[in-house]
Structures are given as structure tokens and as C-alpha cells.
Structure 1
Amino acid sequence: MTTEFGVELGDGRLLHAYDTGGDGAVVYWHHGTPNIGEPPAPLFDAAERLGLRFLSHSRPGYGAAMPAAGRSIADVAADVAAVADAAGVERFAVMGHSGGGAHALACAALLPERVVAAAGISGLAPFEPSTAEGFDWYAGMADGAADSLRAAREGRAAKERSLGAATGEEDIGFQAVDWEALETDWAWFDQIVPPALVMGPGGLIDDDVASAGAWGFDPAVISRPVLLVHGAIDRMVPASHSTWLAQRIPGAQLRIVPDAGHITAMRQGAAALEWLRGFLA
């Protein structure tokens, strides 16, 4: 059973955190955009088999989580450390999907004394420094996904206007296999998106602005083992993003999954947990 609890921070914010409990080794889950921080129920059986426990929290602005104006990707590290401290956990692995991928990498970069390994699934590369090195950040993205992130690059006000003008008919990049997964083994996603937006789209806006802006760290400084998993036919975040990250992060492993899209890459979640388990002796 997942326990929910609050963690008060020094800046006065209250984090909404989750713990699946038990005495297993810990994987800290970083949710996608726009989700709440509830750990991924479709992976609970695999976690139990591997003797793993999930910790997580909802990022600022999602659900009941208090907003944090102007937050960067790097800011997540302090929040994660606070939750881990509250749960009495010293060492852990991190795992993130989609918008959570960058946040998992931030923890690996900025909490090297606590994070033993990181797995990112379907995650973005940083706009900077990738584009300065010739990487086409928008190449292969569906129009709706690219337009949304272009607005985020312009700042919070532009992203708000973009959301306000959205019709709901935009092509965000899901493939037929993704829609099928959302009706079957990964229908769980439909349970965690509505609660994330109950107080409005603030969390989503801040996530996208942070993801498209300066991350606050360079993935090249990561010294912990990293696994990057990406669907070959992902049109929301093309696989080229993980390919760039794998070339940037020393020793990173890259798994491109044939015929998988943005959601169906999560079907590799159990394998990613098994890989992480190897570093949680």
C-alpha cells in the first residue's frame, strides 16, 4: 500500500510525497508531465519481485503541491534529498519518464553521494548546450509537441498563451501503440493526469519552461551509471534526445526500443528496474 505524507521545506513549501513502504532498496520515481507523483502502479509487481521500494513526490504546482515560481530542473535535487531524509533513506536509485527524465538526471548529477544509478525513459535533452553543438532539438517532433515547447522557450507568459489557444486537436506525437497502451497495461496514466491539473495548469507550465530552459547543470558531470531508454518511433520526444544524452554522459547506456513510442517505452520499465537493482546492493 502506498502511503502519502507531507514534507515541510525550509522555504515554507510543503511537498506531497509517496512511499510504497517495506524494507526494500529504494528507487526514487520522477513523474512525467503533467502527472502527480504517485509511483507507477504497473511496475509494482516487478518492484516486489526485485525487492524494491518506491519513493516519490509531486513536483511544485501539481495536485496539492505548492508552486515554486521560476524553478529549474536542478531544483529538484534539494526536494528529493528532503523527502529521502524524511523517509530515513540515505542511498537510492532514480528513475524518470518523459518530463521526469531530466529530473532524475539532475539528482544523479547533484546528489552523487546518495544516488547510485539513474534510468531515464523517453526524456528530453537540454536545449542548451545541445543546440549550440548543432543538435536540432525539434527535429522529428510532432507539430503540437514542438509548438508547445517553442512557446515554453519564450517563457511562462508565452506558454500560458499557447495553452489558452489550444483546441485539444493538436498532434502531440502519440503513436497508435501508445493509445493502445493507454487503454490497457498503461491505463494508469489516465488516473494520474486529472489530479495533477486539479488546481490548474501551473505545474505543467513550469515543467515545460524548466525543461526548455537552462537546466542548472550539465549532464556531462554525471559520474553515476545511467541507462537511457527510448522508443524508436517516439514523436513527442524523438529518440535523438536520448542519443545526444548518451553521447554527453560518460559511460551512459542507450537502449532504443523498436516500434515503441512515448508511452510504450515504459513497457521497458521492469527491465530498467532490474538494471537499477544491480547497483542497489
Structure 2
Amino acid sequence: MTRLVRINNERVLAVDERGEPGGKPVFLLHGTPGSRVGPLPRASVIYRLGVRLITYDRPGYGMSDRRFGRTVADVAEDVAAVADALELDSFAVIGRSGGAPHALACAALLPGRMTRAAALVTLAPPEAEGLDWFRGMAASNVIEHTTAASGSGPITALLAPAAARIRADPTDLVPALDDDLPEPDRNVVADYGIRRMLAHNFAEALRSSTAGWVDDALAFCSPWGFDPRNITVPTLLWHGDADVFSPVEHSRWMGRRIPGATVVIQKGAAHFGALQVLPDVLAWVAET
């Protein structure tokens, strides 16, 4: 059942919980575009690990109110507010794809409450020194990021038609991904269950607005509002070496700056390989 959590008496966030009510609390932050509904590990996995899995729609997605001008760092306030509403003193955070930079923001800005953090197929900040940011990136993502750098109007105009097609047919974006997918990702997305979860996720994300997708894009190409060198909690970075949506060098760059980070680069995996390793990552963050 979805719970609406009010933030500062100004807006609401839509929150779901799964697994053991008294288990280890873990926030799972969704991708871009994405929502609280997935893709998620199987219920049996969540229960076996003794995890209380918490997901929510980032502002502007699904049933959550928009937060105009949000930065990546602003996620820390929202996660802390949800944790307060659920009476949680401490918790772990996992972020996948577009959720990964947000998970790292929580690690940097909520050190007193975080136990562990994991970022799967993350981007690096746009000002990442020494990183060729677009090298190895699919043309569709290059266009999205460069358009977002031009401002809200251009990126809204770019994404609105795609969002409209998804609202008309939630399966629209899934086959569209095939044009840019490397072979490892094609193998993952070929699974009927994965494609069904992705379609459900996209439909919920964009059910009434393109705002969340637009605001994510704007946040990623703007200053993030935190320094990864300030992260002190145990942190895992996972990336497939064939990723074309967020190239692997982004995680390597992050790994050189986050003190003590564990960096796992999986040969022969790509962006959607993060879905396959999610149960193992969930087990890792739940260890403490």
C-alpha cells in the first residue's frame, strides 16, 4: 500500500514498503525515468535477507509532488524526512542508474544515519576533472544530457513526446531501448518478466507528468551540491564494462575519490546487469 509522506507541509512523496516490517531498513532509489514500483528484487529475496525495503517516487514522478529546481543533493532531505516518518534512526541506501548519484548524495550528507551505500551504474558529476564525460555514451543519452545543459525549455520539449508515447502505451520505451543496447543488455531485457517490470515502472513514473524526468536531467548536468570525497560510510560502486548509458569510467572516477570505496567492474555486463546483481548488493548493504 502506498503511503503519502508530507515534506515541510508543502509537498508529498509517495512511499512503498516491502519485506520484513522489522527488518534492516534499505532505501532503493529508482532510475531515470523511474518510480517506486521497480524494477525490484523478488519478494522471496527481500524476505530471505530480512530487509525492510523502502522505495519512493522522486519529486515529479508518479504520485510525488514536483520540487522545482531540485539538485542531486536535495535527495538527502527527502530520504531523511521519509525515514523520520517511518521512525527509522539509521538505514542503508542503494541507487541504480539515475538513483545512483542520489544514493551517493545521501552517503555524503547523512553520515550519522547511513550504514552503507551502494551506487550501481552511476554517472559522475558534470564537472568531473580529468573525465571525458561523453566518451562511450550512446547517442541518445548524449543528446539528452547536452539538451538538459541548455535549460528547462529544451529538455522538456525533447522528452515530452517520448513521455506521451509511454502514457499511451507503457511498453513503448522498452523496445525503443533496443536501438542502443549492447548485447549483454539485450540478453537481460529479452526476459519477459524484466520487460514487464520496466513497462510498469515507466508507466507509473510518467503517469501524469514529464516533470520528474526533466528535473533529473537538469540535476545531473548541474552542480550536484556535494563532494564525493566527503563520503565516509562504507560504499560499493558496481558497473558493467560494456555500459553505454553511463560509461564505466564514471564509476572508476568516483571510486578514485570516495575514501575506501569498493569498486566492482564486471566484465561482459552492461547497464541492465545492475538488475541481476541487485540481490547480492542488497545482501551486502544489509550486513550491518
For the 8 Å contact 1:7–1:15, the answer to whether it is kept is yes
Residue correspondences, number: 274
SS class of match (1:248): coil
Match of 1:112 in 2: 111
Instruction: Give the 5 Å matches for 1:78-227.
Output: 78-128=77-127, 130=128, 133-163=129-159, 173-184=180-191, 186-187=194-195, 188-227=197-236
C-alpha distance in 1, partners of 2:108/2:28? 16
Q: CA deviation at 1:111?
A: 0.6
Question: Which amino acid is 1:138 matched to?
Answer: F
Match of 1:60 in 2: 59
Q: CA deviation at 1:171?
A: 7.7
Question: Which amino acid is 2:99 matched to?
Answer: G
Match of 2:17 in 1: 19
Match of 1:266 in 2: 275
For the 8 Å contact 1:91–1:115, the answer to whether it is kept is yes
- Structure-1-length-normalised TM-score: 0.91
Match of 2:256 in 1: 247
Q: Tell me, which stretches of 5 or more residues in structure 1 are unaligned?
A: none
Runs (4+) of structure 1 moved beyond 3 Å?
Answer: 164-173
In structure 2, relative to structure 1, the CA distance for the partners of 1:50 and 1:134 (3 Å cut) is same
In structure 2, relative to structure 1, the CA distance for the partners of 1:179 and 1:83 (3 Å cut) is same
C-alpha distance in 2, partners of 1:104/1:251? 16
Match of 2:4 in 1: 6
Moved more, 34-43 or 238-247: 34-43
Question: Which amino acid is 1:93 matched to?
Answer: A
Q: CA deviation at 1:87?
A: 1.0
In structure 2, relative to structure 1, the CA distance for the partners of 1:232 and 1:43 (3 Å cut) is farther
Question: Which amino acid is 1:121 matched to?
Answer: L
- Structure-2-length-normalised TM-score: 0.89
RMSD (CA atoms): 1.9
Q: CA deviation at 1:241?
A: 0.5
Q: Percent identity?
A: 38
